[in-house]
Structure 1
Amino acid sequence: MGIPQRFSLVTLGVADVEAATAFYHRLGWHEARSSVAGEITFFATPGGALALWETAELAKDAALPTFHANAPGFRAVALAINLASREEVDDAVGDWVLAGGSIAKAASETEWGGYSGYVADPDGNLWELAHNPGWPLDERGLPQLG
């Protein structure tokens, strides 16, 4: 037996679902009809879906103690959006900040020959915005790994 090599859904714990949803709307994202206003928001992506759910509810569902949603420090998880060029990375970082997010690490050249920066949503969820010339993007915008 094997478990399929994929993920279906990433759920981000947030302090306020409506405020978090508004942030992702400002990025230009469109929520799925299956969202429940004020309770949980879903965004369909070319890969898996993204959900926004109150941190306390997510912890309760997993039968784990709740940590503070805006806890400082690294949470050991980062999501990534790969883009077609360095210019697209810079534009995306600018749009992220205009929407109300913050820069965790300014975009710069990487040791692996790409260009990458880190941003955070208002709840501190970390995202990498990157261009990797060794991973061309397919028609859905997903990187093609060798």
Structure 2
Amino acid sequence: MDTKLKVSVIMLGVKDVARAKEFYVDGLGCEIEQDFPGFVRCSLGEGSSSLALYEWEAVAQDAGVSAEGFGFRGSSFHFLTDSREEVDEVMRTAVAAGATVVQEAAAATWGGYSGYFSDPDGHLWKVATDS
């Protein structure tokens, strides 16, 4: 068997599934694939992984770890766009949906253009273009 690693679903532990659902579905336009009490799975578009929103405590319990923790979690999600205008548009849309700007979009030292926002639970998203 030739198995290659791929990410089928990205699951985020969230404090309030209804609020997270509103942010990602109503605010950012994700489409619901499954919707159950305490759990929602969304499509991020063709060719992308799905996004699952699951109660924070339930994720920790499922994994057998403590739900306590704070600060930077050592990961971020990246949305690569085709233009600076699209970066700015995504940032504005995220903020209108309830995101917090962590780093304003600006020219990057590596030659591109990028910014960071966090969702209502503090998960970091980088929006960038290399043009």
TM-score by length of structure 2 reads 0.90
> What SS class does the counterpart of residue 31 from structure 2 fall into?
coil
Give the partner amino acid of 1:41.
V
Displacement of 1:5 = 2.8
Q: Does 2:52 match 1:51?
A: yes
**Matched ranges for 1:1-146 at <5 A:** 3-24=3-24, 25-32=26-33, 34-36=34-36, 38-45=37-44, 46=46, 47-68=48-69, 71=70, 73-133=71-131
Name the one with the larger strand percent: 2
Query: Percent identity of the aligned residues?
Result: 36
Q: In 2 relative to 1, CA 2–110 (structure 1 residues): closer, same or farther, beyond 3 Å? A: farther
CA-atom RMSD, angstroms?
1.4
The structure 1 segments of at least 4 consecutive aligned residues displaced by more than 6 Å after TM superposition are none
Give the partner amino acid of 1:14.
V
Contact 2:88 2:105 in 1 (8 A): yes
Contact 2:30 2:43 in 1 (8 A): no
Contact 2:77 2:124 in 1 (8 A): yes
Deviations 1:52-107 (A, max 9, x none): 00111001111111125xx3x21111011111100110111111111111101111
- Alignment partners' CA distance in 2, 1:116 and 1:44: 24
Q: Between Structure 1 and Structure 2, how many residues are aligned?
A: 128
